[in-house]
A = this chain, B = another copy of it.
Amino acid sequence: MIDNQTLASALRAFAAERDWDQFHTPKNLAASISVEAAELLELFQWSRGQKDWNEVHAPTIRPRIEEELADILLYVIRFADKAGIDLQQAAERKIALNAEKYPADLFRGSDRKYDDASS
């Protein structure tokens, strides 16, 4: 489980202690998720991770991956908390929606987008 309520609480206290709520606007938190997402992407910018998941376990890279994933997750939890959004519910709904957009028999083995007539 991810205990997002407790994590959200911790993040609220963290921001309050530092008088940082003034900076935590929707735009700034959305920007922060993008900034952290790019830091994760940077670990795979060139040759690393093009095919399989072996490389991810290397001790030189694994801690950095964990840290960037955590950064992204924390900002998502913070954003959802500020916005009053239920992440578990939103996630379940999105999986259901994706199943409708991508029926298995029509998209098996294909990486085209649901609205892409040509690939």
The CA of A30 and the CA of B37, in the complex, are separated in Å by 7
Known contacts A5-B1, A53-B83, A95-B74; is-contact A30 B41 (Cβ 8 Å): yes
The CA of A28 and the CA of B48, in the complex, are separated in Å by 11
Per-position contact with B for A67-79: 1 when CB-CB < 8 Å, else 0?
1011111101101
A82 close to B95 (CB less than 8 A): no
Binding site for B on A (CB under 8 A): 1-5, 7, 10-11, 14, 17-20, 22-23, 25-28, 30-35, 37-53, 55-57, 60, 62, 65-67, 69-74, 76-77, 79-80, 82-85, 87-88, 90-95, 97-99, 102, 104, 107-111, 118-119
